[in-house]
Amino acid sequence: MPIITVHMYPGRTAAQKDAVVRGITDVMVREANATPESVEIMLMEVPREHWGIAGNLQGAPASG
């Protein structure tokens, strides 16, 4: 059973999240020969202030 975790910033609508889940499921069915019932997807919303890229928190005010 494929288990897929997607980490993303908060702010997407329920409809957008639904579309992401459907799209990922469709790809796994088509490309990995999985059944839709076997695909599990977790959407993890991580606030920008908890997300760092290149040593910088994404929610931190710009220094300068």
Phi, psi of 41 (to 5 degrees): -130, 130
* pTM (2 d.p.): 0.83
pLDDT above 60: residue 64: no
User: Cα 32 vs. chain centroid, distance in angstroms?
Assistant: 19
Percent of the residues in the chain that have a pLDDT greater than 70, as a whole number: 95
What are the chain's domains? 3-46 (3.30.429.10)
- Active-site annotation, residues: 2
Per-residue pLDDT of 11-32, as tens digits, reads: 999 999 999 999 999 999 999 9
Q: How far is CA 2 from the centre of its chain?
A: 15
Average pLDDT over residues 42-48: 96
Return the bridge partners of 5, or none.
42
Amino acid at 21: V
Give me the residues paired with residue 55 across strands: none
